[in-house]
Structure 1
């Protein structure tokens, strides 16, 4: 059957409830089925059997997978411009035992067949580096891996990045900036989800990630991870402090990282699996960070991907993480401890960020102001995070006063040993 024949065909309802349910799915998914018939390889799909609507994922072809095929088609359409507009009637409006026409806008589908938005690794590096200072090697490696992954039309598994290093050096910020940069470059929003694994140290908490089966407490309440990936398969998921998670969560992630399929006990439209091959999984940990950085210094392997991979795997395998999880990581990204010059750059960024919270544009920061913050800051054993809190304590009231005066462009300076915020003089 050709695409045009399929677009103009009619389905008749029968008295078999299961068959009626499948027909309702076909009617709702008609535009996406037509697109998949026209070019099934673009969706990673194969024809299954002689009936054209039965399109599913490879050997797992069966009608129940059609809802997942629709989500895959929707993600592909959004990556190529904008979503397909559904032309078929909704199932609720289709009476039983009736004939229903099914119209497909083939012109709309053809307009969506445009090249995938490319991601430039150099631009991605520059955008992340503007916010994450002192981690040039890690950011460059991240940009290269992400650019390769996003360029794939049919990735076999999600990209898994493991960021290891001391606290407060930019690991979490890098993942957040990555999602923002991808949204700007691809022209459509990449999803962002941060999961604090400190909250998932008990086995029963896994239902909050994947959902609860029918009949159990919490069924229908939603699930943090599965809901996010259903809404947007192109999501950057950050598993913060992964070593603190319960071992059962590791087992759940292993299949997703290896096969690109996340199994969930909570069915959604008859679908028990979620396609996460377009997702980017970021893991952060400071487990064994000191030993990893010391080994890299001793072997002079900071810029050698092979040396980094071997050292990180050996060190982390002796810790709390299972070797099966470590073996599924695509790339390890060691984050270095930051020095005073990097802290000064981070303080300048923190001052500008604090000003924006008060709707103020900080156009000039005197070096004495940064030196004052550094002089009062604690030792850098906690990284740059305490410096941000110190900036808020030292300049928060001054920014509030400038806002009350109606200032917009301001400068941060030091007068009589105290930091001040004053209107910026016109050039």
Structure 2
């Protein structure tokens, strides 16, 4: 019906012209004096028009009918919803907005992704020692948020709080590997200055130095929109730098300063870490171990009192509190660090190849460092204890070794 209405609208001027000509012809035939100078030519034309007047009038009336039918049909369709699914809304969008641009943005929305939360939790727990509750909660949160088909915000904005060296940064790296997403890692201590720090991440405005290249964050998200963005020690970044992330977390995009382009963050996962309020959080986790809601409420207050801006805290989807390592968890982390170091020298560790006495000695030495000790201290202790003997083993052509404590020192022996 639309094309017919459109055709009738286009032919309407022709109909008006035909009717006008018929009217002139009728007038001429009735009132023109005989013997007029133009009587021969005009008389023949008027007679010809008079002959086909009824045909012309019929065509004109038909055009008018088609036009009015189309007009009222269109008006009725705009006033009342069509029975076809979505047609009413899309007609409104045609009239009131840029439908093509809207459809393009909708097509850019991420599809729902379904993951096995239990399997993800097991993978994380096998690597991040002593933080089982955090790993399970993180896996559950990721599963729920990835299952949402349409999101106007990132998949998640998570804050990992707790003592240093308890696995916060490592968890973000493990999550990136498990989900097969690129990791964009930013040490926020490097962005302690406001203006300069912001330009490094979000680019420079035109006319300023560096405006010919994207910022580190905007370029990373442009190339990998589903990245895991790790903002390590976020509390040490300048307040202006922190505020630049608000649109990323609240509105689902960041703006590249060099060209004004908006880079979507709706597929990204933001992981923030902090060492702020460590002692307070440690006491809270002991006090509210069985009350997750109260723990979240009190930990939020503790972070606010430690200097976290309210607008930052309000945009966090979840706060995860890491526990200090103790007991066998320290032994597990120590063993993993030793294994990693052995592989770093191009060697393999034999099954059961780490002397328990070696682990106990390193745990005692770490314990002397007090509550401030972390996994990084274990790495340094391991390097001091076993690096030289591993180098010797490699030089001797060994490929698989066992570490044995002998006379106060560690010896790397070839596996049997």
CA 1:252 to 1:392, structure 2 compared with 1: closer, same or farther past 3 Å? same
Match of residue 261 from structure 2: 272
How far is the alpha carbon of 1:117 from its aligned partner?
Answer: 5.3
Match of residue 332 from structure 1: 319
How far is the alpha carbon of 1:289 from its aligned partner?
Answer: 2.0
Structure 2, unpaired ranges of 5+: 1-85
CA 1:47 to 1:245, structure 2 compared with 1: closer, same or farther past 3 Å? farther
- TM-score scaled to structure 2, two decimals? 0.72
Write out aligned runs for 1:12-411 (5 A). Answer: 49=94, 55-57=100-102, 72=108, 118-158=114-154, 159-183=156-180, 190-204=181-195, 205-267=197-259, 272-298=261-287, 301-363=288-350, 364-377=353-366, 378-411=369-402
Q: Is the 8 A contact 1:48 1:56 kept in 2?
A: no
C-alpha distance after superposition, 1:321-369 (max 9, x if no partner)? 1111101100110001111321111110001100111121112212112
Q: Is the 8 A contact 1:361 1:409 kept in 2?
A: yes
Q: Is the 8 A contact 2:347 2:398 kept in 1?
A: yes
Question: Partners of 1:328 and 1:57 in 2: how far apart?
Answer: 26
How far is the alpha carbon of 1:56 from its aligned partner?
Answer: 3.0
Q: Which moved more, 1:194-203 or 1:406-415?
A: 406-415
How far is the alpha carbon of 1:216 from its aligned partner?
Answer: 0.9
Q: Which moved more, 1:120-129 or 1:171-180?
A: 120-129
How far is the alpha carbon of 1:248 from its aligned partner?
Answer: 1.0
Question: Partners of 1:177 and 1:135 in 2: how far apart?
Answer: 13
Question: Partners of 1:289 and 1:160 in 2: how far apart?
Answer: 20
Match of residue 99 from structure 1: none
In the alignment, structure 1 residue 415 sits paired with structure 2 residue 412: no
Which structure: larger Rg?
A: 2
How far is the alpha carbon of 1:152 from its aligned partner?
Answer: 2.3
Q: Is the 8 A contact 1:47 1:54 kept in 2?
A: no
Number of equivalenced pairs: 322
CA 1:170 to 1:386, structure 2 compared with 1: closer, same or farther past 3 Å? same
How far is the alpha carbon of 1:253 from its aligned partner?
Answer: 1.2
Question: What is the RMSD computed on CA atoms of the aligned residues?
Answer: 2.6
Q: Is the 8 A contact 1:137 1:303 kept in 2?
A: no
Question: Partners of 1:46 and 1:322 in 2: how far apart?
Answer: 44
Question: Partners of 1:155 and 1:46 in 2: how far apart?
Answer: 24
Q: Is the 8 A contact 1:46 1:56 kept in 2?
A: no
Structure 1, unpaired ranges of 5+: 1-40, 59-65, 80-115, 184-189
- Secondary structure at the aligned position of 1:130 is classed as helix
CA 1:54 to 1:397, structure 2 compared with 1: closer, same or farther past 3 Å? farther
Question: Partners of 1:139 and 1:252 in 2: how far apart?
Answer: 29
Match of residue 98 from structure 1: none
- TM-score scaled to structure 1, two decimals? 0.70
How far is the alpha carbon of 1:69 from its aligned partner?
Answer: 7.9
C-alpha distance after superposition, 1:57-115 (max 9, x if no partner)? 47xxxxxxx7x889x47xx5xx8xxxxxxxxxxxxxxxxxxxxxxxxxxxxxxxxxxxx
Question: Partners of 1:398 and 1:379 in 2: how far apart?
Answer: 28
How far is the alpha carbon of 1:303 from its aligned partner?
Answer: 4.4
Q: Is the 8 A contact 1:287 1:316 kept in 2?
A: yes
